[in-house]
Structure 1
Amino acid sequence: MRRYFLALLLTGLLWCNLATAQPLKTVVEKALAFSEQQSLLMARKYEHEAGVLPRSFEGGKNTVSDSRWWCSGFFPGSLWYLYENSKNPELLTFAKQYTDRVEREKYTTDNHDVGFMLYCSFGNGLRLTKEASYQKVLLTGAQSLATRYDPKVGLIRSWDHNKTIWQYPVIIDNIMNLELLLWASKQSGSEQLKKTALSHADKTMKHHFRPDFSSYHVVSYDRQTGLPHKKQTHQGYADDSAWSRGQAWGLYGYTYLYRETREKRYLEQAKHIASFLIHHPQMPENFIPYWDYNAPQKAGTPRDASAACIMASALIELGDFVNANTKKKYMEVVEKQIRTLASDEYTAKLGENGNFILMHSTGAFPFKSEIDAPLTYADYYYLEALSRLKKRL
C-alpha cells in the first residue's frame, strides 16, 4: 500500500512538472532575449579593441583571438542570428563591425577553416543584408579554400603540421567547410568547386566512418595512393573512440550536404549518424553528451555543450527531410537539449561567464584546454538551433 501511494505521489509530481513547464516556444523566445543582452555586453566590451574576437573564458579571465584563430567567425555569426531575431539596430552595427574583423581570411590558404571563418560571419551577413561586398569576400574565400584540394587524394587537406606523422591529414571537422564551396559553386557556376566538395564528402564517408557510423577524428592519406595510412584521434579519448563534437560535425555536415545536393546517400548517412548518437548507451538522458562517448564516466567527467548545440541544430534541419515519426523522435531529443541548455544549469547569468551565453563545453580535453568552459562556437550553434526552432514552432 505504501508503495502504491508513493507511486501515485511521484506520478502526480511528474504531471505537475509537465503541466507547469513553459511551452517550448516561450523557452526559445526567452533564451534569444537573454542571449541578445549577454552578447551585446560582449560586443561592447571589445568595441574599441581593433581585431579582437571572443574565444573563451577560463580561470576568471576572457581569452580572445584575432581573425587567424579558427573560431574567429563565430561571434560575428552569433550577432547576425540575434539581429535576425530582434532587428535591433545596435546588433546590426556590431555584426558588421565584427564581421569586418575577419575579412582578411578570404586569402587564407594554409588551413581548412576558411569555411568556419567566413561562412558563419559573411555568409549570414550576406543572407540578411544582400551586401554585394560580402559576396565577393565569400567567393574569394572559396577559391582560397579550394587550393588545399589535391585531386590525387580527392580531399581537402586539413592541417600542414606534424608532417613526420601525417602525410595528408583530414579531420572530420573539415566536412563543415564544404558548405562554402557548394554555395560558391552555385553563385559562380564553377562545377569544379562542386566536384571538390562532393569528392571530399564521399571519401570522408568511405574512410572516416566505422560500421556503427561513429567516425575517426583524423585520417591521414598516402599522397601517392590516395588511401588512408593512419586513423587516429587528436582531441578524443582514444584513436577508436567517438569524440562527441566530431560526431556532431559529421551529423551536421551530411545533413546540409543533402539539403544542398538532394543526393540520397548523404541523407542516409545523416540518419545513420543521428541514430548512433541518439541511441548511444553513454548518451545522458538530457542529450548533453560527455566530451567523448567512450571516455570513462565518473564524477566530474566533463560534458560538451558545444556538441549538443551542433547536434540540436542539425537534428532540427534533418527533421525536415524524414518521415513524421522520425521527425517526432528528433524533435523530442532537441526539446530536451534546448530546455537543458536554456536552464540555469547551462545558461550563465547576465554579465557573468565572460559574457558568453552557455557554460560547460569542452574544447580540447587531451591538451587540458578549455575544459568545462564557455566556447564561442557553442554559443553560435545554440543561437542557430534556437533560430531554426523558432521558425518551426
Structure 2
Amino acid sequence: MMKILKKLLLCSIVLMAFSSFIDNSGDLLVKEGFNRAQLLYTKMLSIEKIHTAFPRTTAPDGTLKTTDLKDWTAGFWAGDLWQVYEYTKDPKWKEAATKWTVTLKDNQFNKGTHDLGFMMFCSYGNAYRLTGDKSYRDILIQSAKSLSSRYNPITKCIESWDQRLSWDGKTLWKYPVIIDNMMNLELLFWATKETGDSSYYKIAISHANATMKNHVRPDFSTYHVVNYDEKTGEVLDRQTCQGFADNSTWARGQAWAIYGFTIMYRETMDKKYLDLAQNLADFFLNNKSLPKDKIPLWDFNVNQEGYKPQWDYNREKYSSPIPRDASAAAITSSALFELSTYLPKEKSLKYKNSAIEILRSLSSSVYLAIPDTNNNFLIKHSVGSLPHKAEIDVPLNYADYYYLESLLRYKKLNDGSSKL
C-alpha cells in the first residue's frame, strides 16, 4: 500500500512540474520566428512602392496598403526592423531600420496626435536604445514635449483625438480619451529619466489614474472611449469606436490596458498598478469567449445578449466566423512576459506560460505567414476596425511589432535576464 501511495505521489509531482512549465527553452521558436521575419522583410524592402511610404496592411483589393509619416502606425515598420537587427546583429538590418527611422523626424513637432509614443518610441526609442546615438535622444525629448502639449489639467488626461464628431456621426465629442493612450505614457517616463524634468512623469501618472477611474469597469474589463467635458472634467459618455458595443470589451483595447498598466508598475513600482495589470490580464485569460489557442475574437462580447451594436453590423458577413484579432494576442503576450517578471514564482509562471501559449499559437501556420504571401507581413488574421468595415482579417504592422517584441522578451527570459 505504501509503495502504491509513493508512486501516486511521484506521478503527481511530475504532472505538476509539467503543468507549471510549458516548454524547455523556446530557442527554436524564437529562431524560426526571426528567420521568417528576415525572409518576409527582405521581400518587403525590395518593393518599389514602399521606398517612400510606410507598409501598414493589406488593402481591400489584396494589394499592399501603405501610409504616410503622420499615420499612427508609421513608426512600427522601423520598429520591426530594429527588432530584427537586435536579434541578428546584422548591419544590413540596422541600415534599413535607420533609413526608416529618420524619415519620421518631422513627427517630433506633431502636436495633433496622442500617438507619438507609437510613432516615435517604437522607432526612435528602439534606435536610441540599440545605438546610443544622441541625435535620436534629442528628437525623442522634443516628441515628449509635443505629446505633453495635449494634456489638460482639468480632465487630468492627454486628449486622444482632435475630431469632435464621433464615428457614428451622432455624438458630439468634447474631449475624447481612448484606452490606447496608455501606451504613449512610456515616452513621458523616459523623458523624465533623460532630462530630470518631472513634468512628464506627473502627466503620465495623472493620465493613468484618470484612466483607472473612468475606463476600467468593476469586472476589470475596459471601455474604449471616455468623453470628457474639457471645462469641468466631467465624464459625459463612455463608448466604443472600434468594438462591438459601448458596454462590450474590445479585445485590443483590453490588450492596450494590460500592457499600459504593466508599464505603469515598471516606472513607478506602485502596487496599485501591478494589481490592476493582473486583474486586467485575468479578465482576458479567463474570459469564457477566449478560444483555446488564446487568440481572442475581435471583441469579447460580440453577439452576446445584452450587448447591442451601436452601428450597422453586417451579421451575415462578419459573424460566421467572428474575426479573430491576432494583434490583440501579440500585444498581450508581450505584456504578460513583462508582467511575469514582477511577481512571485507561482503567479509569474501563470502569466509566463500564458504568454508562451499565445506566442506558440501566433507562430503556428494558422497565423504566421510564409514568404510571398500576406503582403510580406509576418502575422495574419488581425482586425483594425470592424465597425468601420476597415482592415478585417488582414495583417497589421503593429501585430508584427508586438509579435517580434514578444519573441525577444521570451529569449531574454530564457537567457536569464530579469530586464526586458
Provide the TM-score with structure 2 as the length reference. Answer: 0.86
Mapped partners of 2:262, 2:291: distance in 1: 23
Mapped partners of 2:24, 2:73: distance in 1: 33
Query: Residue 250 of structure 1 aligns with which residue?
Result: 257
Query: Residue 356 of structure 1 aligns with which residue?
Result: 377
Structure 1 residue 115, shift from structure 2 partner: 0.9
Q: How does 1:254-265 map to 2 (within 5 A)?
A: 254-265=261-272
Match of 1:225 among 232, 235, 253: 232
Structure 1 residue 22, shift from structure 2 partner: 9.1
Structure 1 residue 37, shift from structure 2 partner: 1.8
Structure 1 residue 265, shift from structure 2 partner: 1.1
Q: Confirm or deny that 1:284 pairs with 2:291.
A: yes
Describe the superposition over 1:297-348 as per-residue Cα deviations: whole angstroms up to 9, x where unpaired. 8532100000000000000000000111111111221122111111111111
Runs of 5+ unmatched residues, structure 2: 1-18, 166-170, 305-318, 415-420
Q: Confirm or deny that 1:73 pairs with 2:75.
A: yes
Q: Confirm or deny that 1:27 pairs with 2:48.
A: no
Mapped partners of 1:153, 1:361: distance in 2: 33
Q: How does 1:87-98 map to 2 (within 5 A)?
A: 87-98=89-100
Contact kept, 8 Å, 1:40 with 1:91, in 2: the verdict is no
Query: Residue 3 of structure 1 aligns with which residue?
Result: none
Match of 1:171 among 162, 166, 178: 178
Mapped partners of 1:22, 1:205: distance in 2: 37
Describe the superposition over 1:126-148 as per-residue Cα deviations: whole angstroms up to 9, x where unpaired. 00000111001100000000000
Q: Confirm or deny that 1:314 pairs with 2:335.
A: yes
Query: Residue 325 of structure 1 aligns with which residue?
Result: 346
Mapped partners of 2:212, 2:228: distance in 1: 14
Query: Residue 7 of structure 1 aligns with which residue?
Result: none
Query: Residue 129 of structure 2 aligns with which residue?
Result: 127
Match of 2:300 among 293, 296, 301: 293
Contact kept, 8 Å, 2:259 with 2:331, in 1: the verdict is yes
Query: Residue 8 of structure 1 aligns with which residue?
Result: none
Mapped partners of 1:342, 1:291: distance in 2: 19
Distance 1:22 1:152, change over 3 A: closer
Mapped partners of 1:167, 1:60: distance in 2: 37
Q: Which amino acid letter does the alignment assign opposite residue 301 of structure 2?
A: N
Q: Which amino acid letter does the alignment assign opposite residue 346 of structure 2?
A: N
Q: Which amino acid letter does the alignment assign opposite residue 302 of structure 2?
A: A
Query: Residue 304 of structure 1 aligns with which residue?
Result: 325
Mapped partners of 1:31, 1:151: distance in 2: 44
Provide the TM-score with structure 1 as the length reference. Answer: 0.92
Contact kept, 8 Å, 2:50 with 2:66, in 1: the verdict is no
Report SS of the residue matched to 2:46.
helix
Contact kept, 8 Å, 2:297 with 2:324, in 1: the verdict is yes
Query: Residue 57 of structure 2 aligns with which residue?
Result: 56
CA RMSD across the alignment: 1.6
Q: How does 1:103-114 map to 2 (within 5 A)?
A: 103-114=105-116
Contact kept, 8 Å, 2:124 with 2:136, in 1: the verdict is yes
Mapped partners of 2:31, 2:388: distance in 1: 37
Structure 1 residue 292, shift from structure 2 partner: 0.2
Contact kept, 8 Å, 1:291 with 1:362, in 2: the verdict is yes
Q: Which amino acid letter does the alignment assign opposite residue 203 of structure 1?
A: A
Query: Residue 10 of structure 1 aligns with which residue?
Result: none
Report SS of the residue matched to 2:74.
coil
Q: Which amino acid letter does the alignment assign opposite residue 45 of structure 1?
A: I
Report SS of the residue matched to 1:231.
strand
Mapped partners of 1:66, 1:80: distance in 2: 19
Query: Residue 5 of structure 2 aligns with which residue?
Result: none
Q: Equivalent pairs: percent with the same residue? A: 43
Mapped partners of 1:46, 1:386: distance in 2: 29
Report SS of the residue matched to 1:367.
coil
Query: Residue 245 of structure 2 aligns with which residue?
Result: 238
Runs of 5+ unmatched residues, structure 1: 1-17
Name whichever of 31-40 and 74-83 sits farther off: 31-40
Report SS of the residue matched to 1:267.
helix
Q: Which amino acid letter does the alignment assign opposite residue 221 of structure 2?
A: S
Describe the superposition over 1:78-109 as per-residue Cα deviations: whole angstroms up to 9, x where unpaired. 10011000011110110000111111110110
